[in-house]
Amino acid sequence: MDTPRILRWEALSKRRFDAIDRDRAVVLLSCSPMEVHGPHLPMGADALEAEGLTERMLRFLPDRHRDRTFLKLPILYAATDTVPQPGSLYFQPSTTVTVLADLGRTLAAQGFRHVVVGNFHGGPRHFLAIEKACHRVQRRHGLAMISLFSLMISRLTQGTSNLDDVLGTIPGVDAADLVGDTHGGVVETSQLLALHGDWVDPEYESLPRSTVETWLEAKGSPRPKAGRGDPRRFLEMLRSYRAGIHYFLDETYSGAPASASPELGERFLDVLGGKAGEAVTELLDGELRPEDCHSPIWKLRFLFLNPIMIRLSNRLLGFQNPIA
């Protein structure tokens, strides 16, 4: 199936731009970090995957939307909660909100009606910042601007970045490899092999499986298990989050990159792209409202985005970001 034509914003002349029907145009933007992804993946992995997923999504749009103009803006890498290693670039959530809100305002003033912001970075402070900007633009300017990542995790993972249930049944996938696969593992390495194989270091084939759980076990401090309703559950979640943060001070990936392949990457992209295509079709058809495209933790955005709460949570977690 052919992908609908995509126009690169930076390559357009004034004459070509003026010929665009902005009522039917869809602006595409990838907002993901420049961030360390193991010793084997390019720094722009998240942004490249966001672009790849958005473009794959277009293949699954029905005929009634395939003749729309799709305008792709350059990658925006203002993102927070990046892996705290040299090479990652760190921005405050408020920066992401301001930049995206400014972008939405100028697009609305020029007559555009739909903006899809792609992302493949699971830090809640980042995707909630995107949601906040989209919400502000929609409320103030009437532009249907959505966070595709937030909509996807709402539909597929109940608010987490864990893709076990979504991708675990794909032929060729070992479900065990998806446990703890949160950064630079089999999912991301496979997608990058499919999208930009020349940018993936062949070293990935020799990297051992490494996760927060294996790291804690090696230190002799496995995470305690508290069931639903157990009063210790909140403390367990806090310890779990703290462990994840401190893990990435030592390690640069989490998962099993050696199990990756470009064939798996194509299957991952097709599954996720198909699901994204279904959701965006509903949006373009008017069956899905922009205000219904939030993640399940949208209602907790104050805890994640308020500057005072950010400083307080970092203090509680005992975390000082060495690159911020």
Give residues with Cβ within 8 angstroms of 244, minimum separation 6: 182, 212
82-96, 123-137, 234-248, 266-280: segment of lowest average pLDDT: 234-248
The residue assigned the tokens 């937030």 is 150
Torsion angles phi and psi, residue 244, rounded to 5: -60, -40
236 domain-assigned: no
250 domain-assigned: no
55-64, 124-133, 162-171, 196-205: segment of lowest average pLDDT: 162-171
Number of domains in the chain: 1
Task: Give me the count of residues in the chain.
Answer: 324
Residue 244 confidence (pLDDT): 82
259 domain-assigned: no
Label residue 85 by pLDDT band (50, 70, 90): very high
Residue 245 confidence (pLDDT): 84
241 domain-assigned: no
In the predicted structure, residue 90 carries a pLDDT above the cut 80: yes
Residue, of 280 and 220, whose pLDDT is higher = 280
For the residues 184-210, what does the mean pLDDT come to?
98
In the predicted structure, residue 150 carries a pLDDT above the cut 80: yes
For the residues 24-35, what does the mean pLDDT come to?
98
Q: What is the pLDDT of residues 165-177, one digit of tens each?
A: 789 889 999 999 9
Residue 158 confidence (pLDDT): 64
Contact 82, 33 (CB under 8 A): yes
323 domain-assigned: no
Quick one: tokens of 228? 């639903």
For the residues 11-15, what does the mean pLDDT come to?
98
The closest alpha carbon to 207, from 272, 246, 255, 247, belongs to: 255
Quick one: tokens of 161? 């970045």
In the predicted structure, residue 20 carries a pLDDT above the cut 70: yes
Quick one: tokens of 217? 């076990």
Torsion angles phi and psi, residue 21, rounded to 5: -80, 100
Domain assignment of residue 297, given as a range: 6-173+269-316
324 domain-assigned: no
Domain CATH code at residue 94: 3.40.50
In this prediction the pTM is 0.93
- Average pLDDT along the chain: 92
For the residues 10-21, what does the mean pLDDT come to?
98
Going from the C-alpha of 150 to that of each of 106, 233, 292, the distances in angstroms are: 23, 25, 10
Contact 159, 153 (CB under 8 A): yes
For the residues 136-140, what does the mean pLDDT come to?
98
219 domain-assigned: no
226 domain-assigned: no
The two beta strands, 144-147 and 70-72, are unpaired
Q: Residues of the chain with pLDDT > 70: what percent?
A: 93
